[in-house]
A and B are shown apart, each in its own frame.
Chain A
Amino acid sequence: MAKTGSQILVDFLVNKGVEYVFGIPGGAVLPLFDALYDSPIKFILNRHEQGAGHAADGYSRATGKVGVCLVTSGPGATNLTTAVATAFMDSVPLVAITGQVKRPLIGNDAFQEADVMGITRSITKHSYLVKDLKDLPRVLNEAFYIASTGRCGPVVIDLPVDVTMECCDGLLPEEINLPGYKPCYQGNPRQIKLAAEAIDKAQRPVVYAGGGIILSGCHRELLEFAEKARLPVTTTLMGLGGFPETHELSLGMLGMHGTPYANYAVTESDLLIAIGARFDDRVTGKLEEFAPHAKIIHIDIDPTSISKNIQVDIPVVGDARSILQELIPQVHYVERKEWFEKILEWKRKYPLSYDNSGEAPKPQYIVEQICEATRGEAIITTEVGQNQMWAAQFYTYTKPRTFISSGGLGTMGYGFPAALGAQLGCPDKTVIDIAGDGSFQMNIQELATAVHYKLPVKVAILNNGYLGMVRQWQELFYKKRYSQTKLDDNPDFVKVAEAYGARGFLVERKQDVRPTLEKALSIKEPVVIDFRIAGEENVFPMVPAGQAIYKMIGSLA
């Protein structure tokens, strides 16, 4: 039976088990949307392509499945690029299908034409322009395979409208043909043995675990490994939830806004075991003074991450899970009494803390209350800036895929649409976007999506009337010259929520925080809570940019 390109694509997605596709229709994708009309795939109509991309990304991060989005050519595709770049930086498996003008018009400045291959080249793991219908099944198959294997990432498929309208008889080849792509999963046994020996010998080891723990699904192995060899574990922002923060071996998050004890432990360690982390500048601070006494083991699936920023002594390339499974039987319990005493002392002396005085609720207090009210069981998404750091510091993460945030690219406006995707992927979970008043307004239009699909996502706006993190830097490093960071004219968020058909609450006093949260959690609809927090609260501790990570400022009294 003859099938159109559109039908081939839709059938492929159905066979692949794709449940949701996020996006917005447009001229160049009309045939695709016509084919979707009769399909069992649930299409989520977002209100901006960036929102669609982030929602697909949030869905993927919450479930581990490939996120799929579909937008039109030109502006549809360019609007999507921020979401694609976000997924690329955080290794999120995403397949983004963009419409393209018909083949004879490509390169002619046609209406709604953009060179999507060119624009997305450096922000995708791979990209395709399908110029021949007979390539389509293979391209689709390869795209899902590439996105979800090795170091995951986004793949863009640019699909000219005339290809989707063309008909084809009979079966087309679907086989994957990628001689240049052979992701390596098994670690080299010799390197693993070297790593095990170094771990047994270490007096002051620290595990530095990144987002790779979550992507590889090896949180159980990490726990077993840390307990067996008795190793303290610090996670990156992306690694939050990869190791239970309630565990005695947990050091919490390290880096610019990490815990003092994590940063001190790394600085004094004699062996740093990096797993699925990439030595990002927000983690390392001044490179020359990062873990200066430590030998470094680096377990990562991406060979380009090894020795990129820091010279590694024992690299092990492969999947973190399979490597940990090999490593666990080879390591032994070592008590390391002195080391743990020292860590305990740091924990006692320098806990994360804040001043909870005053009438206005403190953002840290709000995040703690969210954690208590949800018993630490919610999926937390964040925007970017102070809200993100408070959400990372003061919520206690114990399970993977419960902290969803734009770590690498730092995309404001990410958290809310990502929360919608996460909620669709995990309908039984409580999903809360911890937001700032600045960030939330960057994709506030997605309230319409939340209301339309009855997604009971909660948005907790930590409203300080500022672009808070930038203001904090201006306070600390630019003599309080608050250049363009005051948001004087914020809308009434309660009314905005209500105008969209969602619920809205205003909280101005500390004692109203918990009751309002409880009320919001009991409502099975989208709720926006506008928490009016003190305008000039800062995120501490903080390592000034380019400084050594043990030189933190703030709350170290």
Chain B
Amino acid sequence: MKHLISATVENKVGVLARIVGLFSGRGFNIDSLCVGETENPSLSRLTIVVNGDDAILEQVRKQLGKVIDVIKVTDMTGQPYVERDLMLVKINAPPGKRGEILEIVDIFRGKIVDAGLKDVIVELSGTEDKLEAMLKLLQPYGIKEVARTGQIAMLRGTK
């Protein structure tokens, strides 16, 4: 099953390699991985989306906690959390179709961030489902490129 794991780690050389190694060494493909600084610049936050057997992922979660530079690990799966994914899509947009494309982008509260003679770039953030839904509607116009950040997530409420 899909797991969304978040880890607070020291912002140091080699931490990411150690973490990724724990997954790759067990033959798990990481679906997405997102790293960035936190409110404390010496700490980074990682969000990992990975599919796999629950028991083995529980073991991986414990192993993550054992990495010296990892401060905290949370498996958010099954808990209430807010997730976001950011996507840029370059779509084929001949002059006659631009209005339609704009309408679709508006429905999803996306933004056109670049326009060329033959194409536009759309920016959209939201849950994975929302991103997938817009991509589906834009498919018929011809998608030239997609770039996504992968999910970031945070548990709801205070803990």
* In the complex, chain B residues 19-48 whose Cβ is within 8 Å of any chain A Cβ: 21, 25
Contact A118 B17 (CB under 8 A): yes
Take A304-B62, A304-B63 as given contacts and tell me if A129 and B68 are in contact as well, using a CB distance cutoff of 8 Å: no
A511 within 8 A of B: no
Take A121-B18, A180-B70 as given contacts and tell me if A303 and B62 are in contact as well, using a CB distance cutoff of 8 Å: yes
A477 within 8 A of B: no
Contact B68 A302 (CB under 8 A): no
Contact A179 B65 (CB under 8 A): no
Take A146-B68, A178-B68, A180-B10 as given contacts and tell me if A122 and B59 are in contact as well, using a CB distance cutoff of 8 Å: no
A304 nearest CB neighbor, chain B only: B62
Question: How many residues of chain B are within 8 Å of chain A by beta carbon?
Answer: 18
Q: Which residues of B contact A127 (CB under 8 A)?
A: 14
Contact A126 B62 (CB under 8 A): no
Take A118-B17, A122-B25, A180-B71 as given contacts and tell me if A304 and B66 are in contact as well, using a CB distance cutoff of 8 Å: yes
* Majority-rule SS of B interface residues: mixed
Q: Which residues of A contact B17 (CB under 8 A)?
A: 117-118, 121
A179 nearest CB neighbor, chain B only: B71
A230, B14: Cα distance in complex, Å: 49
B117 within 8 A of A: no
A121, B13: Cα distance in complex, Å: 12
* In the complex, chain A residues 112-134 whose Cβ is within 8 Å of any chain B Cβ: 117-118, 121-122, 125-127, 129, 131
CB distance from B25 to the nearest CB of A (A): 6
Contact A180 B14 (CB under 8 A): no
Question: How many residues of chain A are within 8 Å of chain B by beta carbon?
Answer: 18
A128 nearest CB neighbor, chain B only: B14
Residue of B9, B17, B21, B68 ringed by the most chain A CB atoms within 10 A: B68
Take A122-B25, A180-B9, A180-B71 as given contacts and tell me if A117 and B66 are in contact as well, using a CB distance cutoff of 8 Å: no
A308 within 8 A of B: yes
B67 within 8 A of A: yes
Contact A125 B68 (CB under 8 A): yes
B interface footprint on A383-419 (CB within 8 Å = 1, 0 otherwise):
0000000000000000000000000000000000000
Q: Which residues of B contact A146 (CB under 8 A)?
A: 68
A121, B68: Cα distance in complex, Å: 12
* In the complex, chain A residues 178-218 whose Cβ is within 8 Å of any chain B Cβ: 178-181
Contact A179 B10 (CB under 8 A): yes
B67 nearest CB neighbor, chain A only: A180
* In the complex, chain A residues 73-130 whose Cβ is within 8 Å of any chain B Cβ: 117-118, 121-122, 125-127, 129
A126, B69: Cα distance in complex, Å: 9
* In the complex, chain B residues 114-136 whose Cβ is within 8 Å of any chain A Cβ: none
B9 nearest CB neighbor, chain A only: A180
A520, B102: Cα distance in complex, Å: 91
Residue of A122, A146, A179 ringed by the most chain B CB atoms within 10 A: A179
A152, B42: Cα distance in complex, Å: 27
Q: Which residues of A contact B59 (CB under 8 A)?
A: 304, 308
A181 nearest CB neighbor, chain B only: B68
CB distance from A357 to the nearest CB of B (A): 49
Contact B14 A129 (CB under 8 A): yes
Residue of A127, A178, A304 ringed by the most chain B CB atoms within 10 A: A304
Contact A126 B68 (CB under 8 A): yes
Q: Which residues of B contact A302 (CB under 8 A)?
A: 66
A131, B17: Cα distance in complex, Å: 17
B65 nearest CB neighbor, chain A only: A303
Q: Which residues of A contact B66 (CB under 8 A)?
A: 302-304
A interface footprint on B71-103 (CB within 8 Å = 1, 0 otherwise):
100000000000000000000000000000000
CB distance from A24 to the nearest CB of B (A): 26
CB distance from A273 to the nearest CB of B (A): 22
B72 nearest CB neighbor, chain A only: A180
A125, B70: Cα distance in complex, Å: 13
Contact B18 A180 (CB under 8 A): no
A117, B21: Cα distance in complex, Å: 12
B18 nearest CB neighbor, chain A only: A121
Q: Which of B10, B21, B65, B71 makes the CB contact (< 8 A) with A122? A: B21
CB distance from B39 to the nearest CB of A (A): 15
Q: Which residues of A contact B63 (CB under 8 A)?
A: 304
Q: Which residues of B contact A181 (CB under 8 A)?
A: 68
Q: Which residues of B contact A126 (CB under 8 A)?
A: 68
A41, B13: Cα distance in complex, Å: 32
CB distance from A254 to the nearest CB of B (A): 24
B10 nearest CB neighbor, chain A only: A180
A271, B109: Cα distance in complex, Å: 61
11 pairs from A and B in contact (CB 8 Å cutoff): A117-B14, A121-B18, A122-B21, A146-B68, A180-B9, A180-B10, A180-B68, A180-B71, A303-B62, A304-B63, A304-B66
| Top 10 closest pairs, chain A to chain B, by CB | A304-B62, A180-B71, A126-B68, A181-B68, A180-B70, A180-B69, A304-B63, A179-B71, A304-B66, A121-B21
